[in-house]
A and B are shown apart, each in its own frame.
Chain A
Amino acid sequence: MDISRRDLFKIGGKLLVLASAGATLEQITGAEAPGEAYRMADHWWGMIIDIDKCLGCGNCVRACSKENDVPQGYFRTWVERYQIEEGKQPHVESPDGAIDGFPPLTRADLKSFYVPKLCNHCAESPCVQVCPVGATFVSPDGVVLVDETYCLGCRYCVQACPYGCRYLHPKKETVDKCTLCYHRITKGLTTACCESCPTGARLLVDFKNPKDPVHEILRTNKVQVLKPYMATEAKVYYENLDGAVR
């Protein structure tokens, strides 16, 4: 294919503008999203969150809320701020899920850090186990989803989730939760929260992709899941997670 110097400038200019706006490779290149070519069996999705990289800016919460039209006062993702004083119960806050970030710290001498939370997309998910009609399920690519056309709104799954990730959508009256931006990841995009994170604290990972950085991260870092004693096979891993986090 011959490309004239004029065309090259045009494409380069486009790339520069779109990249600065945070566009994805598909948007930049104008390529068709690989939606039809997507094979669920080839993927097993999860996320890795590095606590030390999270600034508590709330970008992820805002991006999720906008991308998924999350009703006000409910959260598919949120960020918690822990402040720990030796010998005392940790002070934890998450004002409005940190959708507007956090107020400044009042004490600089305490250990403090931010913990982004979302559905752990557990492989042995208690919410899936308890749904009386199977409206919530683990997709073949490892994402816990809710069929809103089938959900009764009984909220047994809300009770069964150890992490507080589910809520009843006030308008739909069905249970709602993080879908890991399924509409995006099946098109080769990353999640809204990962994309909006300025420090790369959140990373969408595909355990079935041998080239995914997750394998190197898991090999070289000490990682942990939330509430491991619940034995839910959570697929959201945390780097540098403090033992006080619940």
Chain B
Amino acid sequence: MSIPGVDGFMYPNEVELQWSVLIVLYPYITGLVAGAFILASLERVFKVEAVRPTYRLALLTALAFLLVAPLPLQLHLGHPERSFEMYLTPHRSSAMAMFGFVYLWYLTVVLLVEIWLEYRAEIVQLAQSTTGPKRWIYRALTLGSHNISPEARRVDDKVGYAVTVIGIPSAFLLHGYVGFIFGSVKANPWWSTPLMPVVFLFSAMVSGIALVMVLYVVLMKMRKTAIDMRCLDTIARYLFYTFVIDFSLEMLDLVHRTYESDESFRSLDFMVHTRLWASHVILQICLGTLVPLALLAANQFWKFSEAKRKVMYMTAGGLTLVGIFAMRWNVVIGGQLFSKSFLGYTSYKVQIATREGLLSAIVLMLLPFAIFLVLAKLLPPWQEAKAHEA
């Protein structure tokens, strides 16, 4: 007597997967936030002037995605109306309980403050130059602070710098923490590794940098504005560096598991060679890692024409985003496909039009882009790019 979709033996309650595609989106989206912020901090803290045209773009991208980050979790919960209890009565031993606080810290103390300080002078000017409802919005956004004297701007800059300095470890915390949620589950050998937070962190940086790079090129094309190739080359170089570290860490994990070959290894190895073959080996490792790494590496050794570089970077960026999504999928879904008895495997069928189905996931992935467009309309990130070109 066999159960559809199940091979071998699963504990009876394991047949149904508990964490769906929405939980795949959760680390994917928070990773994009952390990565975009790290890219922004390259310019602000590490003085990588070349990436200045993407500074504001990266900040707005991080904000747009951060606003959406809790939504997949809310949709997933059996009782979303009780989620506020995590703030009121957090269970201190739970790795998950701190998410709300880490999230709020990152949103309010880091991102909103940094964006506000960055845009403050323009907000004050817009509050005076615009009319109608827009004027009211900008007036509200000034928070009553209208002083944009050079002295006040210097203070803004200093505080902004300090916030970014705090923001870097905060971004690390945000995504390293998400990695810890998985890495600390000792019952699950696919997840349980101290490397998980570090791998999550570097993959976050890779995905965030790739997203801003792709977004920058697409937006410049849409606006018919020239792409700053020095900026693009620099971003691609940093993407390459972080990708090398990320890939090395993932390979270290793989080598370690293979060499140790503990009780779970045979089961996990079988899973990778069967149910996860397409998403893990083909999508994540080959298409999502080796191809973009080769494209980015080629640019470190040879000089290609501008047009070719653009195509190579866009291909590398797009594949990277797919690859990191596949990585999140393989962690979250892969971690539930095998039995904790190591004697069998179940399967995951993505539902379409349910609360946790594919349509919800698509909407949640499109939502940050819609929010970004609104934010970009309200707080244009282009001014700086133009200034740089000038």
Q: Which stretch from A4-12, A35-43, A163-171 is at the chain B interface?
A: A163-171
B93 near A129: Cβ-Cβ < 8 Å: yes
B12 near A97: Cβ-Cβ < 8 Å: yes
Q: How far is the CA of A164 from the CA of B78 in the complex (A)?
A: 19
Interface string of A112-150 (1 = CB under 8 A from B): 000001000000001011111110000000000000001
Bin the interface of chain A by size: 35 or more
**Set B13, B18, B79, B343: member contacting A151, Cβ < 8 A:** B79
A173 near B12: Cβ-Cβ < 8 Å: no
Q: Which chain A residues border B340 with CB–CB below 8 Å?
A: 162-164, 246
Q: Which chain A residues border B339 with CB–CB below 8 Å?
A: 164
- Given contact pairs A150-B82, A150-B85, A132 touches B94 in the complex (Cβ within 8 A): yes
- Given contact pairs A92-B9, A168-B18, A152 touches B77 in the complex (Cβ within 8 A): yes
Q: How far is the CA of A153 from the CA of B20 in the complex (A)?
A: 13
A159 at the interface (CB under 8 A from B): yes
Q: How far is the CA of A134 from the CA of B93 in the complex (A)?
A: 9
Q: How far is the CA of A91 from the CA of B7 in the complex (A)?
A: 12
B13 near A173: Cβ-Cβ < 8 Å: no
B94 near A246: Cβ-Cβ < 8 Å: no
Interface string of A28-40 (1 = CB under 8 A from B): 0000000000000
Select from chain B the residue with minimum beta-carbon distance to A127. B187
Q: How far is the CA of A151 from the CA of B73 in the complex (A)?
A: 14
Select from chain A the residue with minimum beta-carbon distance to B99. A132
A154 near B76: Cβ-Cβ < 8 Å: yes
B19 at the interface (CB under 8 A from A): yes
Q: Which chain A residues border B14 with CB–CB below 8 Å?
A: 164
**Set B1, B83, B86: member contacting A93, Cβ < 8 A:** B1
A130 near B77: Cβ-Cβ < 8 Å: no
Select from chain B the residue with minimum beta-carbon distance to A154. B77
A237 at the interface (CB under 8 A from B): no
Q: Which chain A residues border B221 with CB–CB below 8 Å?
A: none
A210 at the interface (CB under 8 A from B): no
B357 at the interface (CB under 8 A from A): no
**Set B1, B90, B336: member contacting A133, Cβ < 8 A:** B90
Beta-carbon contacts under 8 Å, A154-190 to B: 154-156, 158-168, 172-174
B78 near A151: Cβ-Cβ < 8 Å: yes
Q: How far is the CA of A163 from the CA of B341 in the complex (A)?
A: 8
B13 near A156: Cβ-Cβ < 8 Å: no
Q: In angstroms, how far is the closest chain A Cβ from the Cβ of B93? A: 5
B12 near A164: Cβ-Cβ < 8 Å: yes
- Given contact pairs A93-B9, A130-B185, A167-B13, A154 touches B96 in the complex (Cβ within 8 A): yes
Additional A-B contact list (13), CB under 8 Å, known A132-B97, A156-B94, A158-B18: A74-B12, A93-B1, A94-B11, A95-B1, A128-B93, A133-B89, A133-B91, A134-B91, A156-B181, A161-B187, A165-B13, A168-B18, A246-B340
Q: What are 14 of the A-B contact pairs (CB < 8 Å)?
A: A75-B12, A90-B343, A91-B9, A95-B1, A130-B93, A130-B95, A153-B79, A156-B96, A159-B19, A160-B186, A164-B14, A164-B339, A230-B187, A246-B343
